[in-house]
Amino acid sequence: MSKKSAKEELLPFKILNEKYHMFESEDGSIISAKFVLIHIVKMPAQKGMDKSGYYFQSQFVTGVWALPKNRGERDKSYTTDELAKFIEKENLMFKQIQDGGSNLYETDEFNLLINYRVKQIDKTSKFDSMGVPAYIIRSESEVLVQEKPKEKKE
């Protein structure tokens, strides 16, 4: 069931694949990262556009497990902008240890394929509320909308 307003439509979708990717950084921390799709909104055609478009609301979720020797004083949560002031090592070396594959979602109108990748990991001098090091994870996503064939009317 979709929720409609006069201008846009919230599309229901089914998650076919949405798994974590895991990375090991050069300092031994294990970083889990996942792209999470929250909403798909169909936007009406705008002036100068032939057809409607889509808006995708999403979140990039990460978690860190750190070796006890890399943990520090318990601190607070920081925004990325705040953390950027405390980068102590840019572009850590890392390797992927688990591939979660491409994210795949299905709506009545199309399938949605999202490939995302972690491009860079920066270590900061800050720690979270559990004493785990705070990293800045830079990523990018590639979104492919695969329209479903229209049914023939007889």
The verdict on residue 7 lying in a domain is: no
Look at residue 88 in the predicted model and tell me its pLDDT. 96
Judge whether 3 lies within some domain: no
Within a domain: residue 48? Answer: no
| Average of per-residue pLDDT across 137-142 | 93
* pTM score, whole prediction: 0.82
Residue 154 has what pLDDT? 60
Indicate the DSSP class of residue 151.
P
pLDDT at 48: 67
Nearest alpha-carbon partner for 134 in 82, 97, 93, 99 = 82
| 8 Å CB contact between 104 and 111 | yes
Does 103 fall in a domain?
yes
pLDDT, tens only, 6-18: 588 999 999 999 9
Q: How many domains does the chain have?
A: 1
Spatial separation of the C-alpha atoms in residues 11 and 32, rounded to whole Å: 28
Is 52 domain-assigned?
no
User: Confidence class of residue 2 from pLDDT cuts 50, 70 and 90?
Assistant: low
pLDDT tens digits along 21-62:
999 999 999 999 999 999 999 988 777 666 778 889 999 999
**8 domain-assigned:** no
| Token pair recorded at residue 126 | 């800050």
Residue 54 belongs to a domain = no
96-134 confidence digits (pLDDT tens): 999 999 999 999 989 999 999 999 999 999 999 999 999
- In a domain? residue 6: no
Structural domain including 109 reads: 14-33+63-147
